[in-house]
């Protein structure tokens, strides 16, 4: 296990009926609040009205930034920064999924960034400056953005999607009420869970030896997602299922299972190019890529971990190691398919193979998969994985 720091200070308020704690939480930072949300799901679900009940009794000055897109854009970040500056915003309050939270993190930090935000905030990837305080109300179990210091921002003109990390981007407080996810449709529920599983698998399939704590926790979380996703799909208002998916999403990417390991993630690097070129749903891209990536890198060195994955996660009884590994990978594919996730690129409208070479170049250029992946991936590997989708 590698040396690491683990200092994740987000104050988590988990559970139902806790929104009346919001005024006190906001007041610790000030009265001027930038409320950030997406395309309107919070209005349909009634959450928006519940928030205003709290704002009204607290005399908050609310400025709204609505319409954050899935795969949030740099232009929206710029808009948010202007609103913060014009209205002397004290605290940024994203209410939504990972896209809304990520956009808010970028806004909160970019208020302190001068010049071009893409050049000076996103491209450097590591942000060491200050940020306005961020309080989140999560409505979709997926990214873990509610308890980490990462945001992922897209520049659609340049067809680039990049993650930025910074300590000051860590939310101060996050409200995790599973009932706020009852209204998530089956497509987004499945995609979000695929994202959670991917965060776990990206850390699990890693070459750092001696990380049993992280691997055992990851296995427990994977089994939890695999158990509860079908239940949430069958019964969207099953509190236990939604609660377990929500907490799994947070723990999968708050550092708990990734710390102590070195190396870089492979599937996310490849998916980010799919989203940058075709604007597809993050979790869907990951579900497609992951089993193909696994099949591509299966060899003598990787078989033992894939065999363990097959036995621990999928109860595969096959004893021949390579065969067991292959069955495990097939089970993962079948699980995603059984949850209604489109598992081929043509199903999400992507036919044009001519972009695959360019996307492969970008995936390698924008990440360190060619030297730090679980198995190093070069452009031809990535293109071949895209073609297999």
Q: Which stretch binds ligand NZQ (CB under 6 A): 35-43, 108-116, 238-246, 291-299?
A: 35-43
Q: Are 94 and 134 in contact (CB under 8 A)?
A: yes
Give the HSE-up count for residue 215: Cα atoms under 13 Å, Cβ half-sphere.
17
Q: Select 140 or 251, whichever has its Cβ closest to ligand NZQ.
A: 140
Q: Which stretch binds ligand NZQ (CB under 6 A): 97-105, 123-131, 255-263, 344-352?
A: 97-105
For 144-161, letters b (16+ CB in 10 Å) and e give bbbbbbbbbbbbbeebbb
Is 177 a residue that touches Zn ion (CB under 5 A)? Answer: no
CB of 40 to ligand NZQ, least distance (A): 5
Report the sign of the C-alpha dihedral through residues 317, 319, 323, 328, in that order: positive
Q: How many CB atoms lie within 10 A of CB 69?
A: 16
Residue 41 binding partner per list Zn ion, ligand NZQ, none, with a CB distance cut-off of 5 to 8 Å that depends on partner kind: ligand NZQ
How many residues bind to ligand NZQ according to rule CB under 6 A?
A: 34
Q: Select 273 or 312, whichever has its Cβ closest to ligand NZQ.
A: 273
CB of 143 to Zn ion, least distance (A): 6
**CA dist list (Å): 131 to 111, 113, 212:** 7, 9, 35
78: left (phi over 0), alpha (psi -120 to 50) or beta: alpha
Q: How far apart are the first and last CA of the chain?
A: 34
Residue 210's Cβ-count burial label (10 Å; 0-12, 13-18, 19+) is: exposed
Provide the mask over 57-96, with x wherever binding to ligand NZQ is found by CB under 6 A and - wherever it is not.
-------------xx------------------------x
Residue 152 binding partner per list Zn ion, ligand NZQ, none, with a CB distance cut-off of 5 to 8 Å that depends on partner kind: ligand NZQ
Report the sign of the C-alpha dihedral through residues 230, 231, 235, 237, in that order: negative
CB of 322 to ligand NZQ, least distance (A): 30
Which of residues 177, 195, 215, 379 is near Zn ion by CB under 5 A? 195
Sheet holding 173-176, edge to edge: 11-14, 173-176, 135-138, 91-96, 32-36, 61-65
d(CA 37, CA 95): 5
Residue labelled with tokens 């069955």? 327
Cα 254 → chain centroid: 11
Q: Select 177 or 195, whichever has its Cβ closest to Zn ion.
A: 195
CB of 5 to Zn ion, least distance (A): 22
Q: Select 202 or 326, whichever has its Cβ closest to ligand NZQ.
A: 202
Q: Which stretch binds Zn ion (CB under 5 A): 151-159, 176-184, 194-202, 351-359?
A: 194-202
Q: Which stretch binds Zn ion (CB under 5 A): 119-127, 193-201, 209-217, 378-386?
A: 193-201
Residue 273 binding partner per list Zn ion, ligand NZQ, none, with a CB distance cut-off of 5 to 8 Å that depends on partner kind: none
Q: Select 122 or 327, whichever has its Cβ closest to Zn ion.
A: 122
Q: Select 122 or 316, whichever has its Cβ closest to ligand NZQ.
A: 122
Cα 333 → chain centroid: 20
Is 102 a residue that touches Zn ion (CB under 5 A)? Answer: no
Which of residues 142, 221, 269, 294 is near ligand NZQ by CB under 6 A? 142
Is 144 a residue that touches ligand NZQ (CB under 6 A)? Answer: yes
Q: Select 268 or 331, whichever has its Cβ closest to ligand NZQ.
A: 268
Is 367 a residue that touches ligand NZQ (CB under 6 A)? Answer: no
Is 203 a residue that touches ligand NZQ (CB under 6 A)? Answer: no
Q: Torsions phi, psi of 9, nearest 5?
A: -95, 5
d(CA 333, CA 327): 10
Q: Are 54 and 18 in contact (CB under 8 A)?
A: no
Q: Which residues sit at the interface with Zn ion, rule CB under 5 A? A: 195
Q: Which residues sit at the interface with ligand NZQ, rule CB under 6 A? A: 38-41, 45, 70-71, 96-100, 102, 139-140, 142-145, 148, 150-152, 180-181, 183-184, 188, 192, 195, 253, 268, 282-283
């Amino acid at each position: 296990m590698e040396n690491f720091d683990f200092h994740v200070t987000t104050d988590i308020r988990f559970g139902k009926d806790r929104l009346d704690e919001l005024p006190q939480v906001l007041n610790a930072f000030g009265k001027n609040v930038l409320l950030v949300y997406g395309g309107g799901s919070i209005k349909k679900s009634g959450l928006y009205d519940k928030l205003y009940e709290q704002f009204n009794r607290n005399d908050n000055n609310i400025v709204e930034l609505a319409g954050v897109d899935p795969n949030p854009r740099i232009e929206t970040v710029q808009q948010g920064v202007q609103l913060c500056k014009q209205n002397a915003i004290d605290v940024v309050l994203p209410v939504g999924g990972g896209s809304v939270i990520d956009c808010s993190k970028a806004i909160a930090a970019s208020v302190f960034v001068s010049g071009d935000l893409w050049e000076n905030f996103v491209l450097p990837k590591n942000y060491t400056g200050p940020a306005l305080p961020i309080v989140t109300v999560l409505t979709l179990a997926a990214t873990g953005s509610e308890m980490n210091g990462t945001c992922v921002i897209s520049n659609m003109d340049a067809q680039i999607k990049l993650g930025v990390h910074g300590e000051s981007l860590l939310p101060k407080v996050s409200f995790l009420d599973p009932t706020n996810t009852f209204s998530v449709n089956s497509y987004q529920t499945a995609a979000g869970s695929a994202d959670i599983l991917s965060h776990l698998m990206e850390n699990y399939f890693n070459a750092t030896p001696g990380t049993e704590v992280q691997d055992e926790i990851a296995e427990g979380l994977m089994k939890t997602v695999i158990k509860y996703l079908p239940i949430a799909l069958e019964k969207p208002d099953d509190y236990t299922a939604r609660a377990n998916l929500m907490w799994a999403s947070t723990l999968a990417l708050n550092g708990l299972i990734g710390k102590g390991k070195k190396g870089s993630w492979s599937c996310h690097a490849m998916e980010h190019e799919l989203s940058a070129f075709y604007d597809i749903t993050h979790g869907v891209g990951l579900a497609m890529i992951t089993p193909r990536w696994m099949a591509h890198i299966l060899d003598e060195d990787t078989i033992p971990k894939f065999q363990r994955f097959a036995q621990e996660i999928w109860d595969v009884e096959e004893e021949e190691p390579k065969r067991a590994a292959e069955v495990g990978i097939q089970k993962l594919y079948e699980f995603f398919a059984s949850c209604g996730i489109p598992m081929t690129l043509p199903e999400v409208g992507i036919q044009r193979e001519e972009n695959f070479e360019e996307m492969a170049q970008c995936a390698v250029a924008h990440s360190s998969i060619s030297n730090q992946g679980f198995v190093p991936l070069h452009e031809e590997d990535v293109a071949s994985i895209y073609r297999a989708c």
